[in-house]
Chain A
Amino acid sequence: MLNYELVVIGGGPAGLAAAIEARKNGVQNILVLERDLELGGILQQCIHNGFGLHIFKEELTGPEYAQRFINELLEMDIEYKTDTMVLDISEIKTITAVNKQDGLIQISANAIILAMGCRERTRGAIRIPGTRPAGVFTAGTAQRFINIEGYMVGRRIVILGSGDIGLIMARRLTLEGAKVLAVAELMPYSSGLTRNIVQCLHDYDIPLLLSHTVTDIRGKDRVTGVTISKVDQNLKPIPGSEKEYQCDTLLLSVGLIPENELSLQANIKLDPRTGGPIVNESMETSVEGIFACGNVVHVHDLVDYVTEEAQKAGAGAADYIFEEITEKIPAVPIVPQEGVNYIIPQNIRIDNLNGFLDLMLRVTSVYRNAKICVRADEKTIKEVKRPHLSPGEMERVRLNSNIMKTIRPKTISLYIDGEKTQYAI
Chain B
Amino acid sequence: MEKKRNMQSKELICTACPIGCRLTVFQDEKSENWFRVEGNSCKRGINYAIAEMTDPRRILTSTVKVTNSHYKRLPVRTREAIPKHLIFSCMNEINRIEVITPVRMGDILIDNIASSGIPLIASRNLE
Contacts and interface: CB of A to CB of B under 8 A. Distances in A.
Nearest to A423: B20
Interface size class of chain A, counting residues whose CB lies under 8 Å from the partner chain: 20 to 34
A61 B91 CA distance: 17
Given A47-B61, A67-B105, A202 B13 contact: yes
Chain A interface mostly:
helix
Contact of B18 (A150, A175, A390): A390
B41 A387 contact: yes
Interface string A107-142: 000000000000000000000000000000000000
A425 B123 contact: no
A199 B18 contact: no
A44 interface: yes
A37 B63 CA distance: 19
Contacts of B71: 148, 150
Given A61-B77, A199-B15, A44 B70 contact: no
Q: Most chain-B Cβ atoms within 10 A of its Cβ — which of A47, A147, A197?
A: A47
Nearest to B73: A150
A156 B39 CA distance: 36
A67 B61 contact: no
A348 to B, nearest CB: 28
A195 B17 CA distance: 8
B15 A47 contact: no
Interface of B: 13-15, 17-20, 41, 58-63, 65, 70-73, 75-77, 84, 87, 91, 105, 123-125
Those 8 A-B pairs whose CB atoms lie nearest each other, nearest first: A63-B124, A194-B20, A47-B75, A150-B72, A195-B15, A150-B73, A61-B123, A388-B19
Interface of A: 37, 44, 47-49, 59, 61-64, 66-67, 146-150, 175-176, 193-195, 197-199, 202-203, 387-388, 390, 393, 425
